[in-house]
Structure 1
Amino acid sequence: MRAHDIPAGILPVQRGLYYGGAWHAPKAGVYLETINPSYNEAITIAPVADAADVDAAVQAAHAAFPTWAATPPVERGRYLRRAAAVLREHAGPLALLDSLNNGNPVSALAMDAGFAADCLDYFAGLATEIKGETIPMGDGNFNYTLQEPLGVIARIVAYNHPFMFAAARLAAPLAAGNTVVVKSPDQAPLSILRLAELVGDIFPPGVANFLCGGRECGDAMGKHPLVRKITLIGGVPTGKAVMKTASDNLKPVLLELGGKNALIAYPDADIDKLVNGIIGGMNFTWSGQSCGSTSRVFLHESIYDHVLEKVVELLPERHKPGIPTDPKTTMGSLVSRAQLEKVQGYVAKGLEDGGRLVCGGVQPTDPALKDGFFFEATVFADMQPHMRLAQEEVFGPIMSVFKWSNEDTLFEQVNGVDFGLTGSIWTQNLNTAHRAAKRIQTGYVWINNSSQHFMGAPFGGVKQSGIGREECFAELLEFTYTKNVNLKFS
């Protein structure tokens, strides 16, 4: 869909920053074009927040915090449920807007509003469950704890699911009694503006605030003394920058970062289900732009050739790049030229290091896609652990396939990266499954499954894949601190 074909009511009306219950022009007057990566053409302009805008938004959130924190938890839950209902009502247009701005297929993005709404409903129901405990101290003392909200929370979200991440990540801090400032990804800001239009005035002024901007905006959020915690969904370099900035005033962080995730297939795996799991786990739908993608596939030598052949046969049929706003498209574009060039560079590195390219590796030849940032689903076989493509996160549609025979060597290779977000294990033997789940060093494990998230199940990583857990009760407690109270009887 070209810019001039966008239906009425899809694009946000506002082109400002939303905080304190009102829209504001960026103080420096800076606006930048935001593009449709399928055609590399401008859609419209978006505001760019600087440090002064961040200060204004944080001050508004700080002013709103005492009243919101004092709002009964049941009432806070009602606000969240109202927001969830609005998201479900506008699910289709929101999916189309993100598809236009980040290049993901509209058919797949249709689930994002539902997931975000489910998060809001889930944490609305948990708002009354933020409970302390009593601690025995013997006669003459009554000791108890309270879980108190932190204050202003800054949340920076990623471009692969901008609307879903922004809406879903409002839920836990707001349920716990905090106020929130959300920063959109600079590559795809439009759905965050639309989110502000839809739910901003549901909440009291200053409770939910939305900014668009780049690195200066994110840095200012991390440095601001009234921001009590900063969170990020993004890459490892950005996570390190956020953590470094936050360290200046000992600000805690919650980071969901990258992954170089492994899928492990044992000889007894159900082959047909395994092949589907390999293709689905790589998230080719999003052109591999997903932190949870199982981009390293370890096949036992007894099934290696057969499974690899079936994957290479089926993959081009399942995931052929196409215009993202076409409901029939099953694989969209990369988000930017920079991301496309990064992927092309990793293909060159894979070939240089001796990997065998068995599928894809080039841009599609379809004339309809010639201007966009499309890249074919790509598979490298006969990979070795020392190769850069085997060690570094691409965040693109490249899957590496390894052959294994010895289980101890297998886990040395699987765990021999700096990441530890997800893992996928395929076997029909229960003992094997649990043994492998114990040995893999990740925060999230699928057995005979891949890619799926489960509401209430803690999602997060170890090593350089992040700090903390989300999508569960633990996320709620991430936005509280423990206060101990001791009463001595006279």
Structure 2
Amino acid sequence: MEMKTSPAPASPTHPALPAHRELFYGGAWHPAHGGAHWECFSPTNGSSLGICADASDADVDAAVQAAHCAFPAWRDTHPSDRAARLRQAAARIRQHGGDLALIDALDCGNAITPMKGDVENAATQLEFFAGLVTEAKGETIPMGHGRLNYTLREPLGVVGRIGAFNHPFMFSAAKMAAPLAAGNTVVIKPPEQAPLSTLRLAELVGDLFPPGVFNVVTGRGKEAGQALVRHPAVAKIGLIGSVEAGRAVMRTAADTLKPVLLELGGKNALIGFADADLPALADAIVQGMNFAWCGQSCGSTSRVFLHESIHDRIADMVRERLAAFQPGLPQDPDTTMGAIVSAEQHRRILDYIRIGRDEGATLSYGGTVPADPGLAQGFFIEPTLFTGVQPSMRIAREEIFGPVLSLFRWTDAGAMLAAVNAPDYGLTCSLWTRDLATALEFSSRVQAGYVWINEVGRHFLGAPYGGFKQSGNGREECFDELLAFTQTKNVHVRY
């Protein structure tokens, strides 16, 4: 028996939820083994969003086998045909963009307006990689008369992609683009906290690809993800998640020596120098914290280092700007900051706020749940600002993944740089100065994979995104991501 919930009519307050709540593989919907499922609840008010299939090892195996069987024909599909299907997927996503954003708003709690940006971002990445299908080229190597030596770029096989809860739809739709463009088949495992938009993705684009090329398995807990990582027929895993999840994936993948592509956490710095444009700097501090996602973003610049000559003025300006971010119902287009994804994450963030106060930091703004009775049943937290933060404090060293911003005062550039580079993370960094020499010097000395100068938060498709240290490995959103899902073969001919 198929597990379904009746699709709700599209409206400003309730999306057309996915009708299918099963596992999608081999071009069809399948119930989980034994009918296992769990119920999804909205973090906005605790209301039920219906059930989802809870995949077991056997279910993941069935999905991987379907992808494995589909791989030879997809590998041999003409690149222009693969590209055309990706572009068709992008068009369908745009056609249903409003509902997709609304599903994510209710399922993960993020405000609907930035979620619409996520949908557009996913469609754009599908088109970007569709345009690169003929660029995964080999090369010829001179070997002298009578010999020809050349390389080929070939797809890997079955690729597993595991997404995170902060951008559920984007991480499913956008991250299938490079593997499929390169000729691989994919099995997507969406986050258990917010799986519904990925199921809707399967309903919208599943028929565009031959059966088994695009597959989705949902699961609660670690079983489905671990089964996907350790499966011997899975050639590579891509994960977006926490450092702890990345370590677990690497340990499990080691048993089959499969490569991994990891985009993990961050404890990112924004550095304000004495000569910075102060209003622009204050705007950037708030923008870089990604309060629209309740700070639930790996790239958020949650540690702000301000030269002592500008610290107090900037702190006042930041407090003024935080007033624009008031928690509200995420399905409301006017909401600037939605809900935290789960009760567990909500408690974790509140614990960190308490820890910050206990360690001696000054709570300068927010730090509590909103008083609005209309939000009492959801997981909401006000934007939070700490001043007087010291590098040794836990809120300065550990990723909170919530709307908690910390300000540091600095005088000595060397000591400041040491504090910036101290955490085990190294994803992003933002530098604010009018002095080009200072900007270029510090951009080469900060330990981060993605550095902005007088800019913050923005991604540029085609520019490699990824981290240093324990913030991950590999690069995405660029040509390197396409090549990451290929392997090189050398061919030598004597004639």
TM-score, L = length of structure 2: 0.97
CA drift of 1:203 comes to 0.5
Is 1:173 matched with 2:179? Answer: yes
> Which residue of structure 1 lines up, in the alignment, with residue 166 of structure 2?
160
CA drift of 1:312 comes to 1.1
Q: Give, in whole Å, the separation in 2 of the partners of 1:154 and 1:311.
A: 41
> Which residue of structure 2 lines up, in the alignment, with residue 304 of structure 1?
311
> Which residue of structure 2 lines up, in the alignment, with residue 383 of structure 1?
389
> Which residue of structure 2 lines up, in the alignment, with residue 246 of structure 1?
253
> Is the contact made by 1:28 and 1:50 (CA closer than 8 Å) also made in structure 2?
no
Matched position secondary structure for 1:128: coil
> Which residue of structure 1 lines up, in the alignment, with residue 125 of structure 2?
119
Q: Residues 172-251 of structure 1: matches in 2 within 5 Å?
A: 172-214=178-220, 215-251=222-258
CA drift of 1:353 comes to 1.2
Is 1:71 matched with 2:88? Answer: no
> Is the contact made by 2:142 and 2:148 (CA closer than 8 Å) also made in structure 1?
yes
1:407-441 alpha-carbon deviations (Å, 9 max, x no partner): 11111000000000001111111111111111111
> Which residue of structure 2 lines up, in the alignment, with residue 334 of structure 1?
340
Matched position secondary structure for 1:302: helix
Q: CA RMSD in A?
A: 1.2
Is 1:284 matched with 2:291? Answer: yes
1:160-217 alpha-carbon deviations (Å, 9 max, x no partner): 1111110000100000000000001000010011000000111111000011113100
CA drift of 1:129 comes to 0.4
Q: Residues 4-153 of structure 1: matches in 2 within 5 Å?
A: 7=11, 10-153=16-159
Gaps of 5+ in 2: 1-6
The aligned amino acid for 2:286 is I
The aligned amino acid for 2:402 is G
Matched position secondary structure for 2:312: helix
Q: Give, in whole Å, the separation in 1 of the partners of 2:158 and 2:467.
A: 25
> Which residue of structure 2 lines up, in the alignment, with residue 469 of structure 1?
475
1:7-35 alpha-carbon deviations (Å, 9 max, x no partner): 47610011111000000011131111101
> Which residue of structure 1 lines up, in the alignment, with residue 410 of structure 2?
404
The aligned amino acid for 1:56 is A
Q: Give, in whole Å, the separation in 2 of the partners of 1:205 and 1:4.
A: 28
Is 1:455 matched with 2:455? Answer: no
Matched position secondary structure for 1:274: helix
Is 1:429 matched with 2:474? Answer: no
Q: Give, in whole Å, the separation in 2 of the partners of 1:339 and 1:166.
A: 21
> Is the contact made by 2:426 and 2:447 (CA closer than 8 Å) also made in structure 1?
yes
The aligned amino acid for 1:398 is V
Aligned partner (choices 257, 270, 291) of residue 264 of structure 2: 257
Is 1:420 matched with 2:426? Answer: yes
Q: Give, in whole Å, the separation in 1 of the partners of 2:28 and 2:219.
A: 18
CA drift of 1:242 comes to 0.8
> Is the contact made by 2:160 and 2:188 (CA closer than 8 Å) also made in structure 1?
yes
> Which residue of structure 1 lines up, in the alignment, with residue 4 of structure 2?
none
Matched position secondary structure for 2:51: strand
Q: Give, in whole Å, the separation in 1 of the partners of 2:252 and 2:58.
A: 17
Q: Give, in whole Å, the separation in 2 of the partners of 1:6 and 1:160.
A: 23
Is 1:343 matched with 2:349? Answer: yes
Q: 1:330 to 1:47 in 2, by over 3 A?
A: same
Q: Give, in whole Å, the separation in 1 of the partners of 2:153 and 2:361.
A: 52
CA drift of 1:6 comes to 6.6
> Is the contact made by 1:267 and 1:302 (CA closer than 8 Å) also made in structure 2?
yes
Q: Give, in whole Å, the separation in 2 of the partners of 1:42 and 1:409.
A: 50
Gaps of 5+ in 1: none
Matched position secondary structure for 2:133: helix
CA drift of 1:349 comes to 1.0
Count of residue correspondences: 486
Q: Give, in whole Å, the separation in 2 of the partners of 1:462 and 1:59.
A: 34
Q: Give, in whole Å, the separation in 2 of the partners of 1:295 and 1:468.
A: 23
Matched position secondary structure for 2:161: strand
> Is the contact made by 2:8 and 2:17 (CA closer than 8 Å) also made in structure 1?
no
Percent of aligned pairs sharing the same letter: 56
